Amino acid sequence: MTSVWCFLAVVVAKQWELHQLDVNNAFLQGDLNEEVYMKLSPGYRRTGGNNVSRLKKSLYGCHQAPGQWFAKLSSKLCEYDFTRSYADYSLFTYRKGATFIALLVCVDDILLTDNDAEAYK
């Protein structure tokens, strides 16, 4: 939570615009690196004796979901030349010339600010 307050303090001090993105289906986008099975929902009937299904993607209630989604998001941000902060792994920065963008991930919300309003349009 300290990172959020520091992030907001910088935004206010620099008088930058702040954008908040709520990623509604964030935890459905993570790939699973291990085998995870779930019991079938009550009322769902499957032929044969197998009452579980192997998941290919993480689900919202899965313990692995937040970590898998964050890993996928992190790798994509790094592909676009964002750098992960060593002080806080949920903070990513981008610098190119005079352009600076800061992106903070808070569970399934993203806070975004920059010194150039045209930088990511």
Residue 120 lies in a domain: no
**Which residue reads 């954008």 in tokens?**
19
Residues sharing a CB contact under 8 Å with residue 62, sequence separation 6 or more, in sequence order: 27, 36, 55
Phi and psi torsions of 4, nearest 5°: -65, -45
Residue 67 lies in a domain: yes
pLDDT of 20 reads 92
C-alpha span between 93 and 102 (Å, rounded): 5
Residue 18 lies in a domain: yes
Rounded to the nearest 5 degrees, what angle is found at the Cα of 73, between the Cα atoms of 7 and 81? 75
* Structural domain boundaries enclosing 58: 2-114
pLDDT along the chain (121 residues), means of 10: 86 93 65 69 68 64 66 90 93 93 88 82 61
Residue 106 lies in a domain: yes
C-alpha span between 16 and 120 (Å, rounded): 14
Residue 52 lies in a domain: yes
The number of distinct structural domains making up the chain is 1
- What is the token pair recorded at 33? 């690196």
State the pTM of this model.
0.71
Residue 35 lies in a domain: yes
Residue 119 lies in a domain: no
> In this structure, what DSSP letter does residue 57 have?
B
Residue 22 near residue 109, CB atoms below 8 Å: yes
pLDDT of 72 reads 81
